[in-house]
Structure 1
Amino acid sequence: MATIDDVAARAGVSIATVSRVMNNSYIVSQAKRDRVLEAARALNYQTSRGQARKTANRTILIVGSAFIFNVISGIQFQASEEGCEVLFSFANQPDSTLGSIGLINRGQADGIILLNYLDHADELPALSRKIPIVHCGGTRHYPDSRIVAIDNKQAAYEAVMHLAGAGRRRIALLLPEISADIPDYILAREAGYKAALAECGLDFDPELIYQSDLSPDSLNEMVGHMLSLADRPDGLFCVTDQLGVGALCALQAAGISVPDEMALVGFDNDEISELCRPGLTTIAQPWHEIGGECVRQLVSMMQEVSPVGRQIFLAHELIVRGSTVG
């Protein structure tokens, strides 16, 4: 039986594009849509929507403060395969709690997927004993939590090892400016940075740890500090692509040549990382697959066929572009 991977390979597109076509999304060109549909017909590909399953007619609630399109695409595609409905709740306030969501209080959500949700109220351990919960991306870990993500520490380690392999010996770290409740994946990326330095015999220098709120002022302040050092850094690992592109612009504005004087690596492989010049070397996450796996894990919990506490790590990839190789 043909799979979505087979259709993507035959049509010469990504899995996310196949998912968009099958979900009738408008964010697909007509030419790609035609190729996908033709490939699906040739392979006799059929989704399993409408098939009788234990999870049919169940409702999955997505709660988060930020939504990534390809993650949502993967969630919706797999939910359709499982016969589940998907609803969304935007939790963008510091005092947002799951307990304040009516669907949860009324027992109308059969399972929850959390995206960038920090649990300020520390309510997840108790709530997870009442309803299946899957964390997408590894924002917060607690005993018996179910997490689907990449190995953020290992990915960061590989990113910094790439910089070291390019001959960089003073490698700085750029973190987001967070007042409290630092997401676990940010902590893991910082740990990977430190592990790579140790592996290469490079000194860890707290003076080379920077934070930015992505404002021009904070980025220019970082670059100004770098230029003021007697032993200036020659490499920079940014824990998100937004920070990476922001740093790239600030460095170029200050007359710093990238990658000759400063090599940069970002994280996430956002579209902007490929559009900037030079392109940003980065870590690619399989967003569509992560979204789909979140649903599969949630379904297994609904069916009570797998234990609660698990961390599912999907494969990441280092994408090398011009910010590290001239």
Structure 2
Amino acid sequence: MVTVVDVAKKAGVSVATVSRVLNSNYLVTKEKRDKVLKAINELGYVPKTTARNEKGSEKKVIVVVAAAIIHDVIAGIQDFGEQHGYEIMISYQASQTKSPQPWSFLPKEQLGGLIILNMLFNEQELQELSEKVPVVQCGQYTSIPNAYTVTVDDENAAYSAVNHLIKTGKRNIAFIGLGMEDGEVSVSPNFSKDRYKGYRKALEDNGIGFNPGLVKYGDYTFESSAQLAKELIEMQAPLDAVFCVTDNIAVACLNTFKEAGYRIPEDVAVCGFDNQEISEMTSPKLTTVDQPFYEIGYESMRMLEGIIKGEISTGRRLLIEHKLIKRGSTVI
């Protein structure tokens, strides 16, 4: 049986791109869309139809509680859900403040489970929630006993990115993360903490001294990231590369350095994380860590179904393999 994976290989694109084409998403370029449609035609691929519940009963509803809407993650969740007879409901939570449970209107027997996407509950809230309904954390996570999580190995991915910068001859590498560090107290998201650990380990393993002055923290906004880049410039300290924990931060840095007259990557190399669409729209294009968002969503839904069916009863953390995409912002 031909699968979306076969179509992706044939077309030379990611599974996420195939999903976007099948769902008529505007983010796909005409070139990639044509490749996918040609592969679908040549392979005779037929999308799976929604599965029926075994007893013909009403479908279980899976609620995705999201602090950030990541299309490819949602697509992976929806595709698995539709193939296995689940309804998917998306609940966007703009803030981390406690709010009424968006699934409370559902009959208890209809709620299948929750997928928490890049949203952090405190330990007590998450523990209480997990005791009432199956929960899988997707992306960011809160550590509790018997937790179920699907993510990339952020520390190892950051390590490979910084190691790449070092192999290109860079030695004075800055780190820009999210949140803030105040002595021993950290209020950074888990993924930012883990990426910082990877950054530090890469420096240590290559015999490069750590300079705390090259570590900056800000928020998700372009303005904050640009300001941090300006602070690095104004320090007039040796600086030849920057590793950023998101692509948005990296793009702001790249533009700020260019406006200040720096050559990219000769004077300052810039590396991001996530492989968002924006990473291919900069000049030069951005080197970044590719997170297979579609697979993360798909595997989160697969794990949740395993819990629902009683096939999984012990907490686990599934690490999805990352890939470093090397582009012009770090290599000539």
Q: Normalising to structure 2: TM-score of the pair?
A: 0.88
Partner of 2:172: 170
Q: Structure 1 residues 182-191 or 34-43, which shifts more?
A: 34-43
Q: 1:21 to 1:216 in 2, by over 3 A?
A: closer
Is 1:293 aligned to residue 299 of structure 2?
A: yes
* Structure 1 residue 26: Cα displacement: 6.3
Alpha-carbon distance in structure 2 between the residues aligned to 1:178 and 1:56 = 46
Q: 1:267 to 1:100 in 2, by over 3 A?
A: same
Equivalences for 1:94-133 in 2 at 5 Å?
94-97=96-99, 99=101, 101-103=103-105, 108-120=110-122, 122-133=124-135
* Structure 1 residue 39: Cα displacement: 2.1
Alpha-carbon distance in structure 2 between the residues aligned to 1:105 and 1:51 = 20
Partner of 2:219: 213
Q: Which runs of 5+ in 2 are unaligned?
A: none
Q: Structure 1 residues 169-178 or 314-323, which shifts more?
A: 169-178
Partner of 1:148: 150
Equivalences for 1:249-288 in 2 at 5 Å?
249-288=255-294
Q: Structure 1 residues 132-141 or 92-101, which shifts more?
A: 92-101
What amino acid sits opposite 2:17 in the alignment?
Answer: T
Q: 1:178 to 1:225 in 2, by over 3 A?
A: closer
Alpha-carbon distance in structure 1 between the residues aligned to 2:174 and 2:36 = 45
Write out per-residue CA displacement over residues 32-78 of structure 1, whole angstroms, 9 at most, x where no aligned residue. 37953872684354515234448971110000111111111111111
Q: Is the 8 A contact 1:245 1:273 kept in 2?
A: yes
Is 1:15 aligned to residue 4 of structure 2?
A: no
Q: Structure 1 residues 306-315 or 156-165, which shifts more?
A: 306-315
Partner of 2:6: 6
Alpha-carbon distance in structure 2 between the residues aligned to 1:29 and 1:248 = 24
* Structure 1 residue 202: Cα displacement: 1.0
Q: 1:319 to 1:52 in 2, by over 3 A?
A: same
SS in 2 for 1:267: strand
Q: Normalising to structure 1: TM-score of the pair?
A: 0.89
Alpha-carbon distance in structure 2 between the residues aligned to 1:34 and 1:168 = 38
Partner of 2:44: 43
Write out per-residue CA displacement over residues 273-304 of structure 1, whole angstroms, 9 at most, x where no aligned residue. 11101111100011111111011000000001
What amino acid sits opposite 1:9 in the alignment?
Answer: K
Percent identity among equivalent residues?
Answer: 35
Write out per-residue CA displacement over residues 231-273 of structure 1, whole angstroms, 9 at most, x where no aligned residue. 4221110000000001111111111111111111100001111
Alpha-carbon distance in structure 2 between the residues aligned to 1:38 and 1:255 = 45
SS in 2 for 1:260: coil
Q: Structure 1 residues 163-172 or 16-25, which shifts more?
A: 16-25
Q: Is the 8 A contact 2:149 2:318 kept in 1?
A: yes
Partner of 1:202: 208
What amino acid sits opposite 1:47 in the alignment?
Answer: K
SS in 1 for 2:295: helix
Q: Structure 1 residues 96-105 or 191-200, which shifts more?
A: 96-105
Alpha-carbon distance in structure 1 between the residues aligned to 2:101 and 2:130 = 12
Alpha-carbon distance in structure 1 between the residues aligned to 2:287 and 2:142 = 27
Q: Is the 8 A contact 2:7 2:36 kept in 1?
A: no
Alpha-carbon distance in structure 2 between the residues aligned to 1:12 and 1:169 = 35
Alpha-carbon distance in structure 1 between the residues aligned to 2:11 and 2:222 = 42
Write out per-residue CA displacement over residues 81-121 of structure 1, whole angstroms, 9 at most, x where no aligned residue. 11100001111123234646524785642100011111147
* Structure 1 residue 29: Cα displacement: 7.2
Q: Which runs of 5+ in 1 are unaligned?
A: none
* Structure 1 residue 133: Cα displacement: 0.5
Q: 1:104 to 1:150 in 2, by over 3 A?
A: farther
What amino acid sits opposite 1:36 in the alignment?
Answer: L
State the 4+ residue runs in structure 1 displaced beyond 6 angstroms: none
Query: How well do the aligned residues superpose, as a CA RMSD in angstroms?
Result: 2.8
SS in 1 for 2:274: coil
Q: 1:154 to 1:100 in 2, by over 3 A?
A: same
> How many residues in Structure 1 have an aligned counterpart in Structure 2?
326
Alpha-carbon distance in structure 1 between the residues aligned to 2:28 and 2:206 = 44
Q: 1:229 to 1:42 in 2, by over 3 A?
A: closer
Alpha-carbon distance in structure 2 between the residues aligned to 1:184 and 1:310 = 17
